[in-house]
C-alpha cells in the first residue's frame, strides 16, 4: 500500500524539499533522505533541496553539495515537502513555498507542531523525522545514499540512541539501515565526537564560564558575539556545548545562550528527564522535544535564567508531590 507521501508525489513534475532554520541532523537527514530517494527512483521529477548553512560535520551527507540556500523568486513547484518543522515561523529559506507551491506535505515528529496540516504525517511518538520518513518510503527502494541520510537523522535526534525516545522500533529501523551498508561508526564519530581545534577551544571557554544555580540543579553558560569573533568562529561551532553541560553530575537542566544580536540570544535547553524543557521553551515562542528544545529570546541571560528557574522548580514540585 502506498503511503500518503508517495501518493502526493504521483504525477508531479517538480518537488521542493526544505526544513527549519538552523538545520540540525534530523532536519538535514530528512531533507536529503527524500532528495536522494527521488534522485534514485523518480527520474522524471525535478527535485530541489533547500537548507540554510549546513554545519561542517554533516558534509559527508550524500548530495549535500546540491543544496540550494536561496529560493528563486520565479520558481514554482507542484509539491513542497516541509521536513522536521513544527512552526511556520521557523521555516527556513524556502518558507514562502507554503503559499506558492500547488501542494504542501508536512513530515514531522514534534509534539509542539502547530501548523495547519491538510496533507502530511506527524508522529510525535517517533524518535525523529527521519524515522517517520523511513515508514513512508518502500524499504526495498531505499538506497545506501538515502539510508545514510536517514540513519544520521535518527542517531542525532536520539543522542546516539541514548535518549528516552529510543524505542524498539527505532532500533529495528536503524538495523535495517545498517543492512543497507551504513557505516554507523563513521557517522557517529563525525556527528558526535570529531571536533576542530577551534571547537575544542570554544567548548573550554564556555565550560570555564558556566554557572550553577539552585545547588547545582541547573547549569548554564553564555557565548557572546565577541567570543565567536575572537576565534573567527560560527554559532554552529558551539553545537556540542549544551550536551556537555547536560552531563554535569546533579544537573536537571542545562541551558546554553548564544548571542545572535543586541541582547538577543538563541537558547538551547537539555533535560536529564524530570523536566519538560519543551513546555518552558514554548512559553518563549520556541519548542522542540521534552528533553531537548530551543527558543530565541531578547533580554539578559541572568534574568532569563531567573525566570526559567522558577518554571523548572514548579515542574519539580509537581514531580515530587
Helix count and strand count (H, E) for the chain: 12, 11
End-to-end CA distance of the chain: 48
pTM for the model stands at 0.82
- Return the C-alpha cell found at 201: 577551544
Instruction: Check residues 113 and 260 and name the one with the higher pLDDT.
Output: 260
Does position 76 have pLDDT exceeding 80, yes or no?
yes
Confidence of residue 86 (pLDDT cuts 50, 70, 90): confident
According to the model, what pLDDT value does residue 321 have?
A: 60
Q: Residue 167 and residue 200: Cα distance in Å, rounded?
A: 32
pLDDT per residue as tens digits for the range 134-163:
999 999 999 999 999 999 999 999 989 988
Q: What percent of the chain has pLDDT over 90?
A: 76
Does position 117 have pLDDT exceeding 80, yes or no?
no
According to the model, what pLDDT value does residue 305 have?
A: 98
Confidence of residue 179 (pLDDT cuts 50, 70, 90): very high
Residue range 164-175: mean pLDDT, rounded: 93
Superfamily of domain 4-193: inorganic pyrophosphatase (n-terminal core) (3.90.1640.10)
From the candidate CATH numbers 2.60.40.10, 3.40.50.1390, 3.10.310.30, 3.40.50.620, the one assigned to the domain spanning 197-320? 3.10.310.30
Residue range 18-47: mean pLDDT, rounded: 95
Does position 196 have pLDDT exceeding 80, yes or no?
yes
Instruction: Check residues 104 and 1 and name the one with the higher pLDDT.
Output: 104
Q: Which residue has the cell 540554510?
A: 52
Greatest distance between any 2 Cα atoms in the chain = 61
Does position 189 have pLDDT exceeding 70, yes or no?
yes
Q: Where are the domains of the chain?
A: 4-193, 197-320
According to the model, what pLDDT value does residue 118 have?
A: 75
Confidence of residue 267 (pLDDT cuts 50, 70, 90): very high
Residues 10-30: b if buried by 16+ CB within 10 A, e if exposed: eebebbbbbbbbbbbbbbbbb
Confidence of residue 80 (pLDDT cuts 50, 70, 90): very high
According to the model, what pLDDT value does residue 50 have?
A: 97
Does position 61 have pLDDT exceeding 80, yes or no?
yes
What integer best gives the mean pLDDT of the chain?
A: 93
Q: Residue 307 and residue 293: Cα distance in Å, rounded?
A: 16
Can you give 101-162 as a three-state secondary structure string?
A: CCEEEEEECCCCCCCCCCCEEECCCCCCHHHHHHHHCCHHHCCHHHHHHHHHHHHHHCCCCC
Rounded alpha-carbon distances, angstroms, from residue 282 to 43, 86, 279 = 41, 11, 5
Does position 112 have pLDDT exceeding 80, yes or no?
no
Strand ranges across the sheet with 264-271: 211-213, 218-223, 253-261, 264-271, 292-298, 287-288
According to the model, what pLDDT value does residue 92 have?
A: 80
Confidence of residue 49 (pLDDT cuts 50, 70, 90): very high
Residue range 28-47: mean pLDDT, rounded: 97
Does position 10 have pLDDT exceeding 70, yes or no?
yes
Q: Same CATH fold, 197-320 and 4-193?
A: no
Residue range 111-118: mean pLDDT, rounded: 70
According to the model, what pLDDT value does residue 114 have?
A: 67
Amino acid at each position: 500500500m502506498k503511503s500518503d507521501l508517495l501518493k502526493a508525489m504521483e504525477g508531479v513534475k517538480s518537488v521542493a524539499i526544505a526544513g527549519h532554520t538552523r538545520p540540525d541532523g534530523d532536519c538535514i537527514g530528512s531533507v536529503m533522505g527524500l532528495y536522494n530517494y527521488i534522485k534514485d527512483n523518480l527520474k522524471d521529477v525535478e527535485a530541489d533541496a533547500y537548507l540554510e548553512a549546513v554545519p561542517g560535520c554533516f558534509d559527508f551527507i550524500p548530495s549535500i553539495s546540491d543544496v540550494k540556500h536561496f529560493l528563486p523568486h520565479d520558481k514554482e513547484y507542484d509539491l513542497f515537502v516541509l521536513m522536521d518543522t513544527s512552526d511556520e515561523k521557523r521555516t527556513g529559506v524556502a518558507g514562502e513555498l507554503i503559499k506558492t507551491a500547488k501542494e504542501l506535505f508536512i513530515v514531522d515528529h514534534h509534539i509542539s507542531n502547530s501548523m495547519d496540516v491538510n496533507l502530511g504525517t506527524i508522529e510525535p511518538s517517533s524518535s525523529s523525522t527521519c524515522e517517520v520518513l523511513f515508514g513512508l518510503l518502500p524499504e526495498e527502494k531505499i538506497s545506501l545514499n538515502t539510508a545514510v541520510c536517514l540513519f544520521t537523522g535518527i542517531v542525532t535526534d536520539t543522542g546516539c540512541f541514548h535518549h528516552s525516545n529510543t524505542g524498539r522500533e527505532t532500533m529495528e529501523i536503524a538495523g535495517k539501515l545498517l543492512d543497507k551498508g551504513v557505516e554507523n561508526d563513521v557517522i557517529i564519530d563525525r556527528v558526535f565526537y570529531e571536533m576542530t581545534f577551534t571547537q575544542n577551544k570554544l567548548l573550554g571557554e564556555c565550560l570555564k564560564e558556566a554557572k550553577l544555580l539552585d545547588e547545582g540543579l541547573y547549569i548554564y553558560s553564555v557565548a557572546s558575539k565577541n567570543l565567536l569573533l575572537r576565534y573567527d568562529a560560527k554559532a554552529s561551532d558551539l553545537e556540542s556545548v549544551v550536551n556537555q553541560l547536560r552531563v554535569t553530575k546533579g544537573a536537571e537542566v542545562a541551558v546554553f545562550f548564544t548571542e545572535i544580536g543586541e541582547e538577543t540570544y538563541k537558547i538551547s535547553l537539555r533535560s536529564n528527564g524530570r523536566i519538560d524543557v519543551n513546555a518552558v521553551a514554548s512559553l518563549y515562542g520556541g519548542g522542540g522535544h521534552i528533553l531537548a528544545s530551543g527558543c530565541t529570546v531578547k533580554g539578559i541571560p541572568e534574568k532569563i535564567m531567573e525566570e526559567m528557574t522558577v518554571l523548572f522548580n514548579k515542574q519539580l514540585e509537581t514531580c515530587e508531590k
